[in-house]
Amino acid sequence: MGPFWQLAKRLLQRRWMLVAAIALAFISAAGLGIGLLSLGPVLEQILHPESGMGLRSMAEQANSDGGWIYIPESIVSVLPEGQFNGILLLIILIWCLTIFGATANFLHQYISQTLATITIAGIRRELFLHVLYLPLPRVVRQGSSEYLSRIIRDSAALESGFVGLLGKSIAQLSKGIVALLVAIVFDWKIVVVAIVVAPILGVVLRKISKKIRRGAYGSLEAQQDLLRLSTERVQGLRAVKTSTAEDLAVAQFDEANARVIKHELRMRTAKAMSSPIMETLAIFVLGSLALLAANSILKGSLPFERFLLSIGSLAVAGASFRPLAAIINDISAASAPARRILDVLSETTEPSGGKELLRHAHSLEFRRANYVYPGGDLPAVNAVDLTVQFAEHVAVVGPNGSGKTTLLSMVPRLLELDSGVILLDGANIAESQLADLREQIGVVTQEPYIVSGTIGENISLGRPESSQAEIEAAAAASHVAEFIESLPDQYQTMVAEQGASLSGGQRQRISIARALLRKPSILILDEATSQVDSESEAAIAEAIRGIRDCTVLVIAHRLATVLDCNRIVVMDGGRIVDVGPHAELLERCDLYARLIRTQLVAVES
């Protein structure tokens, strides 16, 4: 089963809607078929006004012939006798059937598009949820734009396929089948032609569909690259402008855009060929049928009016089948996004099971911890042994690339150890429930994460049940409350995208308030004070210093932050070089002394 049909099976989750859509399509088509059949008596009355009979006479003759059609006497008695009145009644019947069929068709389209939209919304949500629970290194390595493209663009393309399958194909196919059956009633010989033509048509459409699928997949890949490049350049517009890199950005955009055009044009020929091929085959079919009918008319075995009705029904069938080529193209094109969506859904997510993990109260221990980034040659963290007691404040320092952030990222299991263990109060965190672990950890990164919404919503992110008093207390602890309360709307003040309406220090303090609101047992600060002024840094340091029931792990380049900690861990090349208080390290650790002279003091000044 192809990727498209694997996802199309989800339409069965709402069977009553699917059954209703199909039933309404055939009801609409049945109205068309009855209308075509009722044209027989009308045509006979017009072509043979002298020998023709009224509707009542026709009904009585049909009943007396003893055929498979029997009309109840109650109906026969009310049928008009005059020819014109009979024609008028049939025309009114056709009008009523048309209105009935149009209503059924509207309901079919309405239900079909509703079903397609709801199903795609479910797939889109499942995609988003799946991406949120993917391992962080996987998402970072692939790039966020790849997943955003599949969540938004691929799901929209798949929806076009679903709409084509449910709304258009069923409606057109049902009408075509009914019209074809009516034509068979008038002249069964067309079945022979249909049997000959159908396999040829299937082979041609299959080859065209294959080309379209390939082109669509390449187009989506190219569009994904275009989305990534556009997002990076627009989000980094400040750097683009200050680097006078506009021309380079345009050139890169043009290159990516050209790849999109290349793949789009690959589908052009296949899509352009499908309709002409269908039309050509239709002309050959109609011509063959006309020859068969002409031969029957000349032999006297086929009345002329039946020939007209047969050809008319075939014309209706042809008009109904003609859009199927475009619909098949849409479904074929939807196979590419379906495949890309299934690729994401097949990726392994973070583990959800494990042992219950109680709140941290004793120690955090690294035992021979090792981690190598995918594609890396050397370990980013190499055989690290370290024990941190509960409520201890520990700073981690070292040159760039020494493994500081990598080491602390393994505590909330954003990165999983390649070997070794991390024990929290003696429990292996790799065997514990991930939710239990992260629930008790607060993290503040160098780049604060701010979402579109109010300041209060940003502070309570992840803790929407927090009271206003708790939010205000966290804001006070991070020394951002005074700024917030000076705003007209205070905590209800809306924040621009990515916090563009706030300064770097304000964003960072809101991020710190969010971490403190969690009442964590472990607080990880990764350059958390790098974007705040000296006054704010001192206030935040005072607040952190007052935390008594929380283990604090700090990555810092500022001397004041380091001096506030009970111990300092010095790292280099993924290894721990030395551990101890500031005074002792200054005497015995050359690397720490060099960091004090070159980095910590320089930043502090």
Q: State the Rg of the chain over Cα.
A: 37
Contacts of 486 (CB under 8 A, 6+ apart): none
- pTM for the whole structure: 0.72
Question: What pLDDT score does 423 carry?
Answer: 92
One-letter identity of residue 468:
Q
Q: What is the SS3 string spanning 194-260?
A: HHHHHHHHHHHHHHHHHHHHHHHHHHHHHHHHHHHHHHHHHHCHHHHHHCCCHHHHHHHHHHHHHHH
Rounded CA-CA distance 13/227 in Å is 33
Residue 279: pLDDT band (50, 70, 90) is low
Q: Which of 164, 150, 117 is nearest to 331 (CA)?
A: 164
Question: Average pLDDT for residues 230-241, to the nearest whole number?
Answer: 62
3-state secondary structure of 497: helix
pLDDT tens-digit profile of 61-81? Answer: 656 666 556 566 666 666 666
The mean predicted confidence, pLDDT, of the chain is 75
Inter-CA distances, 24 with 18, 94, 159, 174, 467, Å:
10, 18, 21, 10, 52
Helix (H) or strand (E) holding 422: strand 419-424
Strands 567-572 and 575-580: antiparallel
Question: Average pLDDT for residues 220-240, to the nearest whole number?
Answer: 66
Question: What pLDDT score does 220 carry?
Answer: 65
Rounded CA-CA distance 517/89 in Å is 78
Torsion-angle region of 519 (φ positive above 0: left; ψ -120 to 50: alpha; else: beta): left
Q: How many CB atoms lie within 10 A of CB 507?
A: 23
Q: What percent of the chain has pLDDT over 70?
A: 61
Question: What pLDDT score does 590 carry?
Answer: 86
Backbone angles phi, psi at 577, to 5 degrees: -85, -40
Question: What pLDDT score does 368 carry?
Answer: 92
Rounded CA-CA distance 337/157 in Å is 6
Question: Average pLDDT for residues 160-179, to the nearest whole number?
Answer: 72
Strand partners, 570: 397, 578
Rounded CA-CA distance 288/250 in Å is 57
Query: Residue ranges of the domains in the chain?
Result: 3-345, 450-519
Helix (H) or strand (E) holding 285: helix 246-299
Q: Are 422 and 365 in contact (CB under 8 A)?
A: yes
Q: Does residue 206 register a pLDDT over 80?
A: no
Question: What pLDDT score does 603 carry?
Answer: 41
Helix (H) or strand (E) holding 407: helix 404-409
Q: Are 416 and 135 in contact (CB under 8 A)?
A: yes
3-state secondary structure of 528: coil
Q: How far is CA 529 from the centre of its chain?
A: 37
Q: Does residue 285 register a pLDDT over 50?
A: yes
CATH number listed for the domain at residues 450-519: 3.40.50.300
pLDDT tens-digit profile of 474-495? Answer: 888 877 787 888 888 888 888 8
Window from 127-131, 276-280, 470-474 with minimum mean pLDDT: 276-280
pLDDT tens-digit profile of 421-441? Answer: 999 988 998 888 888 888 888
3-state secondary structure of 510: helix
Backbone angles phi, psi at 463, to 5 degrees: -135, 60
3-state secondary structure of 479: coil
| Count of residues making up the chain | 605
In terms of CATH, what superfamily is 3-345? ABC transporter type 1, transmembrane domain (1.20.1560.10)
Rounded CA-CA distance 108/171 in Å is 8
Q: Characterize 60-91 residue by residue with b for buried, 16 or more Cβ atoms within 10 angstroms of its Cβ, and e for exposed.
A: beeeeeeeeeeeeeeebeebeeebeebbebbe
Rounded CA-CA distance 32/26 in Å is 10
Question: What pLDDT score does 563 carry?
Answer: 79
Window from 294-298, 311-315, 487-491 with minimum mean pLDDT: 311-315
Q: Is the dihedral of CA 152, 155, 161, 166 positive or negative?
A: negative
Question: What's the burial of 580, exposed, middle or buried (CB within 10 Å: 0-12/13-18/19+)?
Answer: middle
Residue 445: pLDDT band (50, 70, 90) is confident
Structure tokens at 28: 């609409």
3-state secondary structure of 65: helix
Residue 326: pLDDT band (50, 70, 90) is low
pLDDT tens-digit profile of 538-586? Answer: 766 776 776 778 899 988 777 777 777 888 998 888 899 888 888 888 8
Question: For the residues of 86-153, what is the DSSP string, one character each?
Answer: HHHHHHHHHHHHHHHHHHHHHHHHHHHHHHHHHHHHHHHHHHHHHHHTS-HHHHHHH-HHHHHIIIII
The DSSP letter of residue 552 is: E
Helix axes 55-65, 83-132, angle to 10 degrees: 80
Rounded CA-CA distance 183/307 in Å is 9
Rounded CA-CA distance 227/412 in Å is 31
Structure tokens at 49: 């006004």
Window from 22-36, 136-150, 452-466 with minimum mean pLDDT: 22-36
Strand partners, 365: 387, 423
3-state secondary structure of 69: coil
Question: What pLDDT score does 27 carry?
Answer: 77
Backbone angles phi, psi at 390, to 5 degrees: -60, 140
pLDDT tens-digit profile of 498-521? Answer: 666 777 777 778 888 888 888 888
3-state secondary structure of 484: helix
Question: Average pLDDT for residues 590-603, to the nearest whole number?
Answer: 71
